[in-house]
Structure 1
Amino acid sequence: MYRSFNPATGETIAEFPFAEDAAVEAAMANGHRAAARWRAADLAERRTALTRLADCLERDADTHARLIALEMGKPIASARAEVIKCATNCRWYADHGEALLAPEAVPHPGGEAEVRHEPLGVVFAVMPWNFPYWQVVRFLAPALMAGNAVILKHASSTPQCAAALEAAGIEAGLPEHVFQNLYLDRAQLERVIADPRIAAVTLTGSEGAGMSVGAASGRALKPCVLELGGSDPLIVMPSADLGRAVAAAVTGRYQNSGQSCVCAKRILVHRDIYPAFRQAFLAAVAKLRTGDPFDSATDLGPLSSPQARDELAAQVARAIDQGASLLAGGSAMAGPGAYYEPTVLEGLPEGAEARVEEMFGPVALLFEVADIDEAIRVANETPFGLGSSVWTEDGGERRRFADDLACGMTFFNANTVSDPALPFGGIKRSGFGRELGRWGMMAFVNVRLVFSAA
């Protein structure tokens, strides 16, 4: 059962049954036929459909934002920004897709070589609740522009967001069955991955989900993109603009109530500026307002569920038991919603679990580091390798961090972000493959060589 649940009030809004097996079979058969037709559509038709989808999302941004706030508790202003970002992504691929997909001539002494970029077929997507529109659209736009069809299995807590996205695609003029939403249970999910009519798989989610879907994709010999967890470092060196770095650390850690794979979960600060940074950071955190996601003044909404809140509380308690010092917050908030206080921990000793695990909620971990060597060592000590944010004005330090941080993305003097033009993804237990930009487009195409001998 898919359950639409308001984490701010504890109210169940609606429930949706899992799809009947016959409906799943029909969706795959229809999607397979639709993929063949969409493959044959010219690029102008695909471009027009993506542009219309952007128009629909922008026009109804407030309606979509309310749905996001209702189902997963995102503050309404952030929810609206998420919808607008989806529209921007659709327009980026509409504008750049034709050039990205253009055949490439490869010089070769033995004849003429051409590399084509052709759609794979039906892409099966397993998506999470934390950015219920963006996570879908960031892969959907390039997949559709490349000529693929898509079947979506969204998180069981955001069924109305999933249905609304499917409806927007239909309204935008996508051909029937090119983009379908299904409410699937785990057994159905595995059968869909194994079905030969599914050409590729993509997942954004937890490590456990990634291992399960990755294993199923491997058994079926399907290409797969996995975007999993993260414990991203934000590193502040003495040459940084301290005010900007503090503001970025607060935003980077507490955006989306700390429920983002690229949140700045670990904040590493050089010892020469640690006391000043710590004081300013705590003062800024104290000003954050947690409350009703529909209140425009709210900075942090609830966590996604009472279970998520309780798991986070247990992690914090364990970290304190293992030697961390609690500087702010540290408790679930009273009331019916799944709220947790903005929390700050410091002094985590070597061996503490919180140094290497992911905390998916509003908990910042502060580390005082002696020099650049210690900053890099601590940054790299986790099993994750998604993003990193480094604040320094020293060119030599930039080169060192750029060379030695073990991750998929490093941003200097900026928070880690996802942008339509830039590759997004990680290494180690943060997954493999890339989304967005040219790289996201190439994830779901057949790079086909056509060679004519001289």
Structure 2
Amino acid sequence: MPIATVDPATGETLRTFDALDDGDVERRIAAAAAAFTHHRLTPFEERAALLERAADLLDEDRDTIARTMTTEMGKPVTAARAEAAKCAKAMRWYAQHAAGLLADEHPDGADVHDSGATRAVVRYRPLGVVLAVMPWNFPLWQVVRFAAPALMAGNTGLLKHASNVPQTALYLEDLFRRAGYPQGCFQTLLIGSGAVEGVLRDPRVAAATLTGSEPAGRAVAAVAGDVIKKTVLELGGSDPFVVMPSADLDRAVATAVTARVQNNGQSCIAAKRFIVHEDVHDAFRDRFAAAMRELTVGDPKDEATDVGPLATEQGRADLEELVDDAVGRGADAVCGGRRPPGLDRGWYYEPTVLTGITRDMRIHHEEAFGPVATLYRVADAQEAVAAANDTPFGLSSNAWTRDRAEQELFARDIEAGGVFFNGMTASHPALPFGGVKRSGYGRELSGHGIREFCNVTTLWHGDA
């Protein structure tokens, strides 16, 4: 895949970039390793001041970088501005909380003394250079939620971003440079996917984090396993959105629409499978489909647009294959199911609701990365749990119920990294984020995320 900005709204290639050669990559790895020897020793106050400055600059750049993201991957410009604001907020959160999250711990009590220690300390020390392999769908947020905690912990970062968002990737390097980070602390590698293995195998690279597809996750995990390096993987998702009879149906429907079409439907934590109790199924279906039909599909640079184009031509083709397979096997497209008429340029697809889904359809097992919802009817909470778990993924989930017993059942039995009750799944710097099953492993954000790339060190003190 070429490293290029291709406008998804028109299909026009706007700018191309040359990949770094081996010498360039070597120099950047060396710079990251050299920067780590100094950055790891800086006090938290100094690291926090740098990250606060980066947040201030990002706020100043919000409109400009929003337009860049929209041009590169088709995100509606209003959502792009919100993404930039969210990133600045996360930077400030880690600047304010990292010292506390990584403070020394002092185990005490009979067990510690029984080990022969007069005292013991648990200390969090940075690992070193962290390679981040990041996707195009949230081209700022995915990077910042790695970079903010990693830099605050004292690590340095190398970013291999998706090849269709090179200008966003270069902006991020420049942002941290302008904020005052020393040379080598955060760098972008404009390289193809084939060059990732060589970087990861380099002994100066300590660990890797990847957000992306299952094949990409398997490839990085296999290499990291071979050289025994820590990884965090956030992969695909096919999140269930369960609606029970006690739900506030108006709120559930409104949230369901946003949860399905956020980022043009291209979000790992977007709700994709809508599992609705039979008592409210038909009412939910009719209201949901009507609201999806009312969405404005069009130019993502237009403030009035709700749903822009898919990011790549191949992405739309993959989505069409899933829908066509389902319809061909008996599913009913209650709305959508085609390219929007009148939008001949760009990679648009109508917001779609499919009913009558069966297990022999590909869309039942595969992630639909676009504005396509599948709707299921269930008889009770137990059947809802079974349907929610009937997927190879386990990223997050939604459950709409005011029944406390049902909430406890879903919290106990839904196989996912999160269960959001009566609200939309979202990532927040204070809350751990990640999944189970084929959605990956490890956690981002919160204290769990910042400690993923730390050496959790036991300091044992005996008698002097």
**Do they fold alike, i.e. is TM over 0.5?**
yes
Matches within 5 A, 1:359-398: 359-398=368-407
TM norm structure 2: 0.97
Partner residue, 1:338: 347
Deviation of 1:352 after TM superposition, in Å, equals 2.0
TM norm structure 1: 0.99
Contact 2:106 2:120 (C-alpha < 8 Å) held by counterparts: yes
Q: Answer with 289-298 or 186-195: which moved more.
A: 186-195
| Alignment deviations for residues 190-225 of structure 1 (CA, whole Å, 9 cap, x no partner) | 000000000010000000100001101111111000
Q: Secondary structure at the match of 1:105?
A: coil
Deviation of 1:389 after TM superposition, in Å, equals 0.4
| Alignment deviations for residues 403-434 of structure 1 (CA, whole Å, 9 cap, x no partner) | 00001111100111000000000000000000
Q: What RMSD, in angstroms, separates the aligned Cα atoms of the two structures?
A: 0.8
Q: Does 1:191 align with 2:189?
A: no
Partner residue, 1:40: 41
Partner residue, 2:90: 89
Q: Give the distance between the partners of 1:31 and 1:303, measured in 2 at CA.
A: 35
Structure 2 residue ranges without an equivalent (≥5) = none
Contact 1:309 1:332 (C-alpha < 8 Å) held by counterparts: no
Deviation of 1:63 after TM superposition, in Å, equals 0.4
Q: Does 1:207 align with 2:190?
A: no
Deviation of 1:373 after TM superposition, in Å, equals 1.1
Corresponding residue to 1:418 among 422, 427, 439: 427
Partner residue, 2:360: 351
Aligned partner letter, 1:361 = G
Partner residue, 2:333: 326
Residues paired across the two proteins, number: 454
Partner residue, 1:27: 28
Q: Secondary structure at the match of 2:417?
A: coil
Partner residue, 1:165: 172
Q: Does 1:238 align with 2:239?
A: no
Q: Does 1:137 align with 2:118?
A: no
Q: Does 1:291 align with 2:298?
A: yes
Contact 1:323 1:352 (C-alpha < 8 Å) held by counterparts: no
Q: Give the distance between the partners of 2:288 and 2:16, measured in 1 at CA.
A: 41
Q: Secondary structure at the match of 1:106?
A: coil
Q: Give the distance between the partners of 1:250 and 1:187, measured in 2 at CA.
A: 38
Q: Secondary structure at the match of 1:52?
A: helix
- Matched-pair identity in %: 52
Partner residue, 2:323: 316
Aligned partner letter, 1:403 = R
Deviation of 1:188 after TM superposition, in Å, equals 1.9
| Alignment deviations for residues 253-300 of structure 1 (CA, whole Å, 9 cap, x no partner) | 011110000000000110001111111111111110010111111000
Deviation of 1:351 after TM superposition, in Å, equals 2.6
Q: Give the distance between the partners of 2:352 and 2:430, measured in 1 at CA.
A: 34
Q: Which runs of 4+ in 1 moved over 3 A?
A: none
Partner residue, 2:70: 69
Partner residue, 2:229: 222
| Alignment deviations for residues 287-335 of structure 1 (CA, whole Å, 9 cap, x no partner) | 1001011111100010011111111111100011122111111112341
Structure 1 residue ranges without an equivalent (≥5) = none
Deviation of 1:350 after TM superposition, in Å, equals 3.0
Contact 2:293 2:336 (C-alpha < 8 Å) held by counterparts: no
Q: Does 1:55 align with 2:61?
A: no
Q: Give the distance between the partners of 1:218 and 1:96, measured in 2 at CA.
A: 32
Q: Give the distance between the partners of 2:287 and 2:318, measured in 1 at CA.
A: 29
Q: Give the distance between the partners of 1:74 and 1:194, measured in 2 at CA.
A: 34
Q: Secondary structure at the match of 1:341?
A: coil
Corresponding residue to 1:443 among 415, 432, 452: 452
| Alignment deviations for residues 42-65 of structure 1 (CA, whole Å, 9 cap, x no partner) | 111100011001001011100010
Aligned partner letter, 1:105 = H
Deviation of 1:186 after TM superposition, in Å, equals 2.9
Aligned partner letter, 2:332 = S
Partner residue, 1:280: 287
| Alignment deviations for residues 214-245 of structure 1 (CA, whole Å, 9 cap, x no partner) | 10111111100000000000000000000000
